[in-house]
Chain A
Amino acid sequence: MARNPVTWLGSPTFPKAARAALQDTQLRQNLRKATGTIRGRRAAAVAEMTDWEQLRVAGEQIKDDVLARLDTLLLQLEESVTARGGVVHWARDAAEANRIVLDLCRAEDAREVVKVKSMATAEIGLNEALEAGGVHAIETDLAELIVQLGDDRPSHILVPAIHRNRSEIREIFQRRMGVEVSDEPADLAEAARVYLREKFLTTKVAISGANFAVADTGSIVVLESEGNGRMCLTLPETLITVMGIEKLVPTWQDLEVFLQLLPRSSTAERMNPYTSVWTGVTPGDGPQEFHLVLIDNGRTATLEDSVGRQALRCIRCSACLNVCPVYERTGGQSYGSVYPGPIGAILTPQLVGDMHDPQAASLPYASSLCGACFEVCPVRIDIPSVLTHLRAEAVEAKGRTAESVAMAAAAWIFGAASRYEKAQKAGSLARFLARDGRITSLPWPGSKWTSSRDVPAPPAESFRTWWRKNRG
């Protein structure tokens, strides 16, 4: 089977990538500023709602229902979309999805297509596949455009260029657009408006993702802010939408929950500036040809895991990234995937589906298990529990390692009081390695531990010894 492009080829494991990222003070500054801002604003937007917890519970339950009835609901969606003049395609993996989209572009003779920001197409590496097939995809979301023009990689689900500050963006725009522009965000947005206007007005094929698809009506929903989405969804003649099979909601009414949860969780707004809903084709209004590509790409394998499958409830709001102390310090690119942060740490390895892949297997460790991600998740994904569950899988996949040997030894020592006491006496010898009460480097296998943290020096005598002397 071909490798899943959800992780970037050649990415180092998380600890290695994080160590490098931590040296980048500019990156840390940019991230601290941006995530700090959005954290405060999200908290305020959520505090306004007296029924937030009830909305979260409903969001969780609706998505669990979707996962329980996924086959039926997908067939229902296909039927509704087809009845309204759309064409539905199914793709087992990234390569199949990319081939379908490329063939559709070729059928329209399109050399250039405009794109609405979409995690699904980023996950399958669609832009690269199209480029290889002679079709140039133009990203129209401001942050995606910054990443594309900067020959960069995304670092955040909602704001892929969050690692760039205004002066870096200015430099990229000046270099790639050939215009003079200040570093004022308003001027930078204006530069993007001018740069893309002509493309919007003339391009015949657009590609989008989907935030939601309503099974019983066949309606597709895209939330956005800039109007680039409306441009792509309205002006071209052909629209191709790529979505993961889990993006469903059963009924139109269910959207009332998610249209409240998503904007407040992601951009901290009561409502995002624009939401577009379309159902198949509407004569005389918008694209007259509509294709919906449903992708699996590791989702059905994720569905099999009774603990891990809750990751498929994710609505890609990115609230968990913004509150994560690990993400804030390492940035998104350290995760080596389009899905960074806490949700990435549980979703990416499951989509990859191979815990023998050292990079994917390192992701569940990209967390201090502080639980902030669970608290903000609008669909109540218990990320810490899934992380520990996946860590166990990673350990199992690794087989006999220094860690498992150490654990087995520990079990033997703890198994008998006399062995435990002897081990403690041996341990107190480690005091000779300590300076100022800390041990910064232990001999192997302890070096595995001290390579990334200090160990407090053990006391001169153990509690057991002390007890026997004083109270025994």
Chain B
Amino acid sequence: MASAKEEILQRIRNARVPAAPPVVRGYDRTGKGGVELFAERVADYRAIVHTVSDVPEALERLEGKRIVAPQDVPPEWLIDGVTWLHEPLSIDELDQADGVLTGCAVAIADTGTIVLDGGEAQGRRALTLLPDYHLCVVRADQIAASVPEALQRLEPTRPLTFISGPSATSDIELNRVEGVHGPRTLEVLIVT
């Protein structure tokens, strides 16, 4: 008897679907937006947005808190007055932290999205998921104008998380409510 795989592949071939014409990419692949549009669109989704020039100064808002930070954040981000929590961290430790501070891989102006890829200053995915507050630092040069431009900058085989505002649901009468399982507060520092 043929395996499920062989049988499915054979059925597909038997269907004799004719070849499709080449894909016409007539849509806009570049986009126009930059820092300003990104800030506006992130704020649209009830994230808190600040445009800053001095990151350590802006991080004073974390004073007195227990904040998770990936090992490789720039050393000047680790200001005094904050209890910094570093890996290895258990799920419970992450769950009980006041928040997490990270950088990002890419941001998207058109959609107000930040993308994490587990690279520099981002840590593994659980770090930005369990704490109820996420402070994300976005450099102006990390902002792509459009979705196509952002995807081009990303390495698809890394674990990616696209974040557009705090966690939300539209499941009750199709009304958007912010704050379900992911961080209920998302704060974004745009560094210019």
Contacts and interface: CB of A to CB of B under 8 A. Distances in A.
Contacts of A186: 177, 179
A17 B165 CA distance: 40
Interface string A132-148: 00000000111100100
A231 B159 CA distance: 14
A273 B164 contact: yes
Contacts, number: 246
A76 interface: no
Interface stretch (A263-271, A408-416, A428-436, A455-463): A263-271
A142 B169 contact: yes
B76 interface: no
A285 B159 contact: yes
A22 to B, nearest CB: 21
B167 A279 contact: no
B180 to A, nearest CB: 4
Interface residues of B, number: 70
A61 B162 contact: no
A213 to B, nearest CB: 12
Contact of B156 (A91, A140, A146, A219): A219
Contact of B23 (A58, A142, A193, A219): A58
Contacts of B23: 58, 61-62, 65, 254
- Of A67, A74, A141, A230, which is in contact with the most chain B CB atoms at under 10 Å from its CB? A230
- Of A54, A253, A273, which is in contact with the most chain B CB atoms at under 10 Å from its CB? A273
A276 B24 CA distance: 27
23 contacts: A30-B173, A34-B174, A54-B26, A61-B23, A74-B8, A92-B4, A143-B171, A201-B92, A226-B168, A226-B182, A227-B129, A245-B8, A269-B164, A273-B163, A274-B161, A274-B162, A274-B164, A274-B167, A276-B160, A277-B162, A286-B126, A303-B11, A303-B17
Interface stretch (B77-85, B106-114, B135-143): B106-114
Nearest to A264: B111
B181 A252 contact: no
A37 interface: yes
Interface string B167-192: 11111111101011111000000000
A279 B45 CA distance: 28
Contacts of B113: 271
B91 A227 contact: no
B173 A296 contact: no
B10 to A, nearest CB: 9
B181 to A, nearest CB: 4
A289 interface: no
A131 B3 CA distance: 27
A65 B162 CA distance: 27
A201 B91 contact: yes
A453 B41 CA distance: 50
- Of B5, B22, B171, which is in contact with the most chain A CB atoms at under 10 Å from its CB? B171
B26 A58 contact: yes
Nearest to A39: B174
Contact of B164 (A193, A219, A272, A284): A272
Contacts of A296: 4, 8, 11
B28 A276 contact: no
B28 A50 contact: yes
B48 interface: no
Nearest to A84: B157
Contacts of B125: 230, 233-234, 276, 285-286
Contacts of A252: 151, 156
Give 9 closest A-B pairs by Cβ, nearest first. A227-B182, A227-B181, A300-B11, A275-B162, A226-B180, A271-B111, A54-B26, A227-B167, A277-B160
Contacts of A38: 170, 174
A180 interface: no
Given A62-B23, A70-B17, A230-B182, A33 B156 contact: no
B64 to A, nearest CB: 25
B158 A225 contact: no
A413 to B, nearest CB: 41
A273 B167 contact: yes
Contact of A259 (B25, B126, B147): B147
Contact of B169 (A55, A68, A226): A226
Nearest to A169: B172
B129 A286 contact: no
Contacts of B177: 185-186, 189
Interface string A34-53: 11011000000000001100
Contact of A193 (B27, B175, B181): B181
A282 B17 contact: no
Given A58-B23, A58-B24, A260-B147, A90 B157 contact: no
A57 B167 CA distance: 31
Contacts of A55: 27
B166 interface: yes
A325 to B, nearest CB: 18
Contacts of A70: 12, 17
A406 B18 CA distance: 38
Nearest to A143: B171
Contacts of B9: 71, 74-75
B116 to A, nearest CB: 10
Interface string A208-252: 000000100111000001111011011100000000010000001
Contacts of A260: 27, 147
A439 interface: no
